[in-house]
Chain A
Amino acid sequence: MILTQFLVLGAVLFSLGIYGLLSRRNAVTVLLAVELMLAAVNINLVAFEAFWNTPAAHGQIFAIFVITIAAAEVGIGLAIILLVFRNRASGNVDELDLLKW
């Protein structure tokens, strides 16, 4: 089994996620980018697990945890975005500067 191609795929997906996270203004798109990064991590975990062929399948278990947390995160994130949109009629991340000093 060739590990390299999976790692490259993971790296590409991760980079795309970072790009999306930093460049997009729409909050929903930003969330999507985060999901991309999580997917890249999952690919890495599963790939290493398969490569080392560990008996306890640690990598797959971790991947399932990550997916679960990602689902919960998206649920909360979308709820926040919805509330923000209702209050301010805008879903743009750069207009949300409430954390400012």
Chain B
Amino acid sequence: MVTASAAAAAPLFLAAGEEHAPELAAGGFFAGGAWIMLVLPFAAFLGIVLFGKRMRKQGAELAVGAMGVNLLWASVLFVQNMLGGIHREVNLTIADIGRLGGVDLSFELGFVVDGLSIMMYWVVAFVGFLVFVYAVGYMEGDVRVPWFFASLSLFAGSMLVLVGAPNLIQLIIGWEGVGLASYLLIGHYWEQKENSDAAVKAFLTNKVADVGLILGAILIGVSLGGFRFSDLSRAAAEHSHALEGVAFAGGLLLFLGAMGKSAQFPLHVWLPDAMAGPTPVSALMHAATMVTAGIYLMARTFPLYQNLAAEARQWMIPIAVITLFVLGFLALTANDLKQVLAYSTVSQLGYMMAAVAAGGYTAGLFHLFTHAFFKALLFLGAGSVIHAVHSNNMSDMGGLRRKMPVTFWTFVVGSLALAGVIPLAGFWSKDEILATLSHEGYTAFMWVAVAGAFVTAFYMTRAVALTFFGTYKGHGHPHESPRMMTGPLVALAVPTVIAGFFNIPGVSWGPIGNFTEWVGARVVTMGDYHPSAIEWDLAAYGLAAALAGIALGWWLFSPEAETQAARDRLEIPVLYPLLRRKYYIDHLYMHGVVNPIKGPLARGVDWVNGHVIDAAVNGVGLLTAWLGRLVYGRLDQQGIDLVLNAAAGGAGGAGGRLRLLQSGKVQQYAGGFVVGALVLVAVLVIVT
């Protein structure tokens, strides 16, 4: 199945005095103050939690304001980085961890400002800001609005801490913060059991993967003597002996962590269920934050895979390709509009991961970049529709294109971009992934990715046809959403159209250069493959697959049909039930993992608890009680008390007798003095 041996990876270069090394500026005031972006959302979180209920917009103004400042800040950095690469890294030692494996480790916090993190700052801030604005309209009159915006701020803030992390420890802190915030947001409507179940599922699935991340971080940190990414990159570029031994294991463990957050097969199961949260959460989670964290981690530690852990790639690429192809099919049978988008996210994450794993640093990040825009657009569009028809199900929609023109047009633009139709953003980034796979020798996988593009186009056409065409099947009278919600849709449609132009192979836009140069602004250049000109044959394959998918989807789903069964007319005997049940993966986990834990294992633990631990505890209790009685009856009552009573009685009796001496008569006292003085004199005389 693996077609290529480890492709000849292009070498990495160090900044200091080597060939191709970028010349990087420190970035001035905005780069030095980038920590503000990491802190602001947390300040907003605290402010909303404390004062949100008393505010006019229930704290939303704080969240939107913080994100607005972040967007401005990130935009300045983004433009600076376009005009000339920036690199700035600040580390503060917070505490010493101590000696581990013969090296002194310390816990550091800080921030890093380079091409990769600036791109992530900007994407998170841009999509985050628009989603926050949209959420103000979407959540109006909903339950627990202050807490929603507080959690949303926490979510964005954790993501910024994650992408700003200069070391693995801080990355883990942000990583877990994102996990926590996603748990809170997915379970926002916790009154319904399914929603809180979905939140728990997301949290636990991510936890499984986090074990890999944490072990990988420890392994690499200990063998390297530090957790900094810059050290990791340098060591990898120098083929350091410290890393050679652990590169494969460490690389796979980090990849396991990335599999959880970025929903790679078979840890993708949490993501479709995460639709239980409010739609703005889905948009933020699936576009700019959370799911991109895994891709980001792979990009951040890219030199490790590029130079040392090439064997790990042989495991990573098949997983990514399975994710992009096999899981994309699941979107075909989903009735819930958000589920369709969720599976498409999983599939697109597969593309990104395949690109990064195959050695396409820029290709993967570019797809992350463009995907953030059109996926946020699609989710917010879906939210707009759901807001109007009060249902997630496409069987309750249809014919909405006249009633919601803005939502319709922006959704179509987003779908075409996702399908990969020229000249929208998705076409260029997908094309670059195909080019990378092809160049690195993974030809078979390249063809699977082309087939994946066909599936993508097919299910997106189905979603558009069922939602916006035909006749309306729901209840009530849907109408266009308020400007607060359509504004972000239009704002996201702009980069959805134009973002792709910034990385057309071989094209550089004057002073601002292109995306490859933006994310290449790092201490260690990545040395990944960039096509120098458009490879028209690959572009043609991708485009043909997309157009074929659209045509098939339109042919099958645009005609009117009464029932859901009639609409899903592609009922291929074996495949259809398989897809409806999501390849039985949920069943497998339920019966293979969860139930054994809940059933026999839990009963066994309960028995041990009831019969062994409780017996021991009871035994200790009984022993203690017996000992207590012994101490009380014998020692206390008959021993200590006796002595004390005797002492007290003696003192009382002596006092009673001695008090008689106190007659109050001065002359008796004086007599006492005289007798005493005489005795002293007598003693003196006798002694001398």
Q: Which residues of A are interface residues toward B (Cβ below 8 A)? A: 18, 21-22, 30, 93-94, 96-101
Minimum Cβ distance to chain B for residue A87 (Å): 16
Across the interface, B664 reaches (CB within 8 A) one of A18, A22, A30, A99, namely A99
Minimum Cβ distance to chain B for residue A31 (Å): 12
Cβ contact within 8 Å between B674 and A99: no
Cβ contact within 8 Å between B667 and A94: yes
**Is B665 among interface residues, defined by CB-CB distance under 8 A?**
yes
8 interchain residue pairs of minimum CB distance? A100-B664, A97-B664, A101-B662, A99-B664, A101-B659, A22-B671, A22-B667, A94-B665
Please, which residues of chain A bring their CB within 8 A of the CB of B659? 101
B658 and chain A: residue at smallest CB distance: A101
Minimum Cβ distance to chain A for residue B654 (Å): 14
* 29 residue pairs bridging A and B, Cβ less than 8 Å apart: A18-B674, A21-B667, A21-B670, A22-B667, A22-B670, A22-B671, A22-B674, A30-B667, A93-B665, A93-B666, A93-B667, A94-B665, A94-B667, A96-B664, A96-B665, A96-B666, A97-B663, A97-B664, A97-B665, A98-B664, A99-B662, A99-B664, A99-B666, A100-B662, A100-B663, A100-B664, A101-B659, A101-B662, A101-B664
9 new A-B contacts, CB < 8 A, other than A22-B671, A97-B665, A100-B663, are A18-B674, A21-B667, A30-B667, A94-B667, A96-B665, A97-B664, A100-B662, A100-B664, A101-B662
Q: Give CA–CA (A30, B667) in the complex, Å.
A: 9
Please, which residues of chain A bring their CB within 8 A of the CB of B671? 22
Q: Give CA–CA (A96, B674) in the complex, Å.
A: 20
Q: Give CA–CA (A30, B664) in the complex, Å.
A: 16
A25 and chain B: residue at smallest CB distance: B667
Q: Give CA–CA (A52, B667) in the complex, Å.
A: 37
Please, which residues of chain A bring their CB within 8 A of the CB of B665? 93-94, 96-97
Please, which residues of chain A bring their CB within 8 A of the CB of B667? 21-22, 30, 93-94
Please, which residues of chain A bring their CB within 8 A of the CB of B670? 21-22
Q: Give CA–CA (A64, B664) in the complex, Å.
A: 33
Q: Mark B667-679, 1 if CB is under 8 A from A, else 0.
A: 1001100100000
Please, which residues of chain B bring their CB within 8 A of the CB of A21? 667, 670
Q: Give CA–CA (A21, B670) in the complex, Å.
A: 8
Please, which residues of chain A bring their CB within 8 A of the CB of B663? 97, 100
Minimum Cβ distance to chain A for residue B552 (Å): 116
A98 and chain B: residue at smallest CB distance: B664
Please, which residues of chain B bring their CB within 8 A of the CB of A22? 667, 670-671, 674
Please, which residues of chain A bring their CB within 8 A of the CB of B666? 93, 96, 99
Please, which residues of chain A bring their CB within 8 A of the CB of B662? 99-101
A94 and chain B: residue at smallest CB distance: B665
Please, which residues of chain B bring their CB within 8 A of the CB of A101? 659, 662, 664
A95 and chain B: residue at smallest CB distance: B665
Minimum Cβ distance to chain A for residue B465 (Å): 110
Minimum Cβ distance to chain A for residue B668 (Å): 9
Q: Mark B449-466, 1 if CB is under 8 A from A, else 0.
A: 000000000000000000
Please, which residues of chain B bring their CB within 8 A of the CB of A100? 662-664
Q: Mark B187-211, 1 if CB is under 8 A from A, else 0.
A: 0000000000000000000000000
Please, which residues of chain B bring their CB within 8 A of the CB of A98? 664
Minimum Cβ distance to chain A for residue B638 (Å): 36
Minimum Cβ distance to chain A for residue B675 (Å): 10
Please, which residues of chain B bring their CB within 8 A of the CB of A94? 665, 667
Q: Mark B288-309, 1 if CB is under 8 A from A, else 0.
A: 0000000000000000000000
Please, which residues of chain B bring their CB within 8 A of the CB of A30? 667
A24 and chain B: residue at smallest CB distance: B667
Q: Give CA–CA (A49, B663) in the complex, Å.
A: 41
Q: Give CA–CA (A94, B666) in the complex, Å.
A: 7
Q: Give CA–CA (A57, B670) in the complex, Å.
A: 32
Please, which residues of chain A bring their CB within 8 A of the CB of B664? 96-101
Minimum Cβ distance to chain B for residue A48 (Å): 18
A99 and chain B: residue at smallest CB distance: B664
Minimum Cβ distance to chain B for residue A29 (Å): 11
Q: Give CA–CA (A94, B659) in the complex, Å.
A: 18
A96 and chain B: residue at smallest CB distance: B666
Please, which residues of chain A bring their CB within 8 A of the CB of B674? 18, 22
Minimum Cβ distance to chain A for residue B91 (Å): 79
Minimum Cβ distance to chain B for residue A11 (Å): 12
A23 and chain B: residue at smallest CB distance: B667
Q: Give CA–CA (A36, B671) in the complex, Å.
A: 17
